[in-house]
Amino acid sequence: MRIGREKVVLFATILLFWVLLNGTLALDSLLVGLLASFVITILYRDGFSPFTEFRATPAGFWAAGCFLLYFSKELVRSNLKLAAIVLSPSLPINPGIIKVRTTLKSRMGRLLLANSITLTPGTLTVQLEEEWLYIHWVTVEATDIDSATAQIVAGYETYLEVMYG
């Protein structure tokens, strides 16, 4: 029954995007959208969308808002940091691939975490292996799992924990 619910959520998400992109609720475009969304939903074995495992509670929405703000701040910070590295003549990098651990259980939570890490200061998720994330870091500041986790993962985890668990 769980799969059925996920498919409905996926169908609704695709249809929502279709309507937003078309900017109209005219019958003909709506019919085409319904058909296309239906076919895509059938073709996907497990329906999976950003809302799949989202906890639609007030606390969940609040955490989503905070997450977006925090993420935007980190995105700008990451760009300024990399810009400084690229522009400095000595190219002060110190790269390496380290390993961190997440406590998130849901698939969507982990996916968003990996994506967010990729867009934040000098880190790029290379491999997601169950609870372990392998991260390429332009300026490695900590090589052991615990302190690297505290530096890279903890900031996002507090919000994603509430949103997806």
Give the total of residues touching other proteins (CB under 8 A): 38
Q: Which stretch binds other proteins (CB under 8 A): 7-15, 35-43, 108-116, 150-158?
A: 108-116
Decide whether 1 or 20 has the Cβ nearer to other proteins.
20
Q: Which stretch binds other proteins (CB under 8 A): 1-9, 40-48, 124-132, 153-161?
A: 124-132
Contacts of 34 (CB under 8 A, 6+ apart): 15
Length of the chain: 165
Phi-psi map region of 122: left, alpha, beta (phi>0 left; psi -120 to 50 alpha) = left
Decide whether 50 or 165 has the Cβ nearer to other proteins.
50
Indicate which single residue of 9, 114, 160, 162 sits in contact with other proteins (rule: CB under 8 A).
Answer: 114
17 is a contact residue toward other proteins (CB under 8 A):
yes
Q: Which stretch binds other proteins (CB under 8 A): 6-14, 36-44, 59-67, 110-118?
A: 110-118
E strand map for 28-153: 96-101, 123-129, 132-137
DSSP 8-state secondary structure symbol assigned to residue 121: T
Q: Both tokens of residue 80?
A: 């300024």
Position 47: which residue type? G
Could you give the 3-state DSSP secondary structure of residue 104? coil
Q: What is the distance between the alpha carbons of residues 14 and 78, in angstroms, rounded to a whole number?
A: 31
103 is a contact residue toward other proteins (CB under 8 A):
no
Residues that bind other proteins (CB under 8 A): 17, 20-21, 23, 50, 75-76, 78-79, 82-83, 85-87, 91, 93-99, 114-116, 118-119, 122, 124-127, 129, 134, 136, 138, 140, 143
